[in-house]
Amino acid sequence: MVKAVVGANWGDEGKGKITDMLAKESDIIIRFQGGANAGHTILNNYGKFALHTLPSGVFYDHTTSIIGNGVALNIPILFKELNDIVSRGVPKPKLLISDRAQIVMPYHILFDQYEEERLGGKSFGSTKSGIAPFYSDKYAKIGFQVSELFDDEAALKEKLELVCEMKNVLLSNLYHKPELNASDLFDTMMEYRQMAEPYVCDVSAYLWQAIQDGKEILLEGQLGSLKDPDHGIYPMVTSSSTLAAYGAIGAGIPPYEIKKVITVCKAYSSAVGAGAFVSEIFGDEADELRRRGGDGGEYGATTGRPRRMGWFDVVASRYGCRIQGTTDVAFTVLDVLGYLDEIPVCTAYEIEGKVTMDFPTTGQLNKAKPVMETLPGWKTDIRGIKKYEELPENCRKYIEFVEKKLGFPITMISNGPGRDDIIYR
């Protein structure tokens, strides 16, 4: 069976923990989109890890971890990550890289930095990992597939010359930065070839056979519904589709094989980067939630930036679940809310005097004000509880309130950072 683990909101929902947990019963875990621009924080028996490219199932020795064709592959970052986890006692995982994945080039990172610098106060809040320039080149058909590392060297050199010619016009005239050298880039790509060669394969064919053999396959998404370039808060989005449906494309499998879509929702809201965030809170209220949140405070796993904080947003989350095709909701970091006497929830938006529960396009979203309801808190620590019935009454009421508003079943509840801090329902 193929399952997908994806996010309902802006990212940072806790997908890494859920993937790590479900990987125990899986044979193959696949990253199918995005790059090293966001991270998944994992806490397990080996320690605490922030993964950026490796799938979150790498901590089990029975699994195969795959970099799918939809990923923005930064080869040095991937192998640094691999070496880092092995140096900390994790058995070296079995890793495969799609021969159709495309490579994040050094100049993609430079262009990302230069463009954010040029935009100044109107920047997109990029992590400066090269993601937007990478996907721009991919769809402009001047990107480099992993397979090209192993093709004719003369053809590779010729393509690099052509790309450098185009890029240098921008570097000289728009950014006023040093030009690229095709020969240096070719040497870099030969280093990439040596690093990647043992792991490269036809991933789509491999997965086709795995499906025929009845293997348990897990697709791992990055970020969340609201960062999707089509269905999210455009233009403050990422550059690849964050939806489970894209898992079929980004891994190279038939869409009808995805049988379960586990959409991860936080019990409150957080976001890194710019863009509309209707239930956002500020000041001391936000600082307190940020300090208590996550598994050591709410800070970006990649950037270390303080996350923007807010209360649970029913409108955004319901939309995020719907657009993912959710079959199951995993409700995370519920334990964080135990300090509150009362818990606010955004249940609707008011836009120009009209109340709606539909998530609008960006222009309308920027005008939206939150309509809040308040639920009683449970004022106790719920970590360590394994059965739903043993949760405090007000805690269960909060879950059931959210579930009813979402319209999708909450089947997993995370009440702590560890992989065993989970309640099945």
Catalytic residue numbers, as ranges: 12, 40
151 among annotated binding-site residues: no
Residues 338, 402: Cα–Cα separation, whole Å: 16
State yes or no: 306 annotated in a binding site: yes
327 marked ligand binding residue: no
Establish whether 325 is an annotated binding residue.
Answer: no
Q: Are the C-beta atoms of residues 205 and 100 closer than 8 Å to each other?
A: no
Q: Is residue 12 marked as binding? A: yes
Tell me whether residue 38 is annotated as binding.
yes
Report whether 305 belongs to an annotated binding site: yes
Contacts of 154 (CB under 8 A, 6+ apart): none
Residue 303 labeled ligand binder:
yes
Q: How far apart are CA 34 and CA 37, in angstroms?
A: 7
**Region class of 265: left (phi > 0), else alpha (psi between -120 and 50), else beta:** beta
Q: How far is CA 339 from the centre of its chain?
A: 28
238 assigned binding-site residue: yes
Residue 4, amino acid: A
Tell me the helices (H) and strands (E) count for the chain, helix number first: 12, 21
41 is in an annotated binding site: yes
DSSP string, 89-116: TPPPPEEEEETT-EEPPHHHHHHHHHHH
What is the DSSP code (8-state) at residue 410?
A: E
Q: Is 17 annotated as contributing to ligand binding?
A: yes
Joined together, the tokens standing for residue 268 give 């409150």
Is residue 308 within 8 Å of residue 282, measured between CB atoms? Answer: no
264 annotated binding-site participant: no
Question: Is 215 assigned a ligand-binding role in the annotation?
Answer: no
Structural Rg of the chain based on CA atoms: 22
| Residue 37 annotated as part of some ligand binding site | yes
Is 380 part of any known ligand binding site? no
Q: Is 11 annotated as a binding residue?
A: yes
How big is the CA angle at 73 (ends 68 and 75), to the nearest 5 degrees? 125
Consult the annotation and say whether 127 binds a ligand.
Answer: yes
Closest by CA position to 185, among listed 79, 130, 107: 107
* DSSP result, 55-84: -TTTT-TT-EEEE-TTBEE-HHHHHHHHHH
Is residue 414 annotated as involved in ligand binding?
yes
Give the residue from 292, 307, 404 showing the smallest Cα distance to 9: 307
For 158, other C-beta atoms within 10 Å of its C-beta total 12
- According to the annotation, is 287 in a ligand binding site? no
Annotated binding site for substrate: 301-307
Annotated binding site for Mg(2+): 12, 39
Annotated binding site for GTP: 11-17, 39-41, 307, 333-335, 414-416
Annotated binding site for IMP: 12-15, 37-40, 127, 141, 238, 305
Annotated binding site: 11-17, 37-41, 127, 141, 238, 301-307, 333-335, 414-416
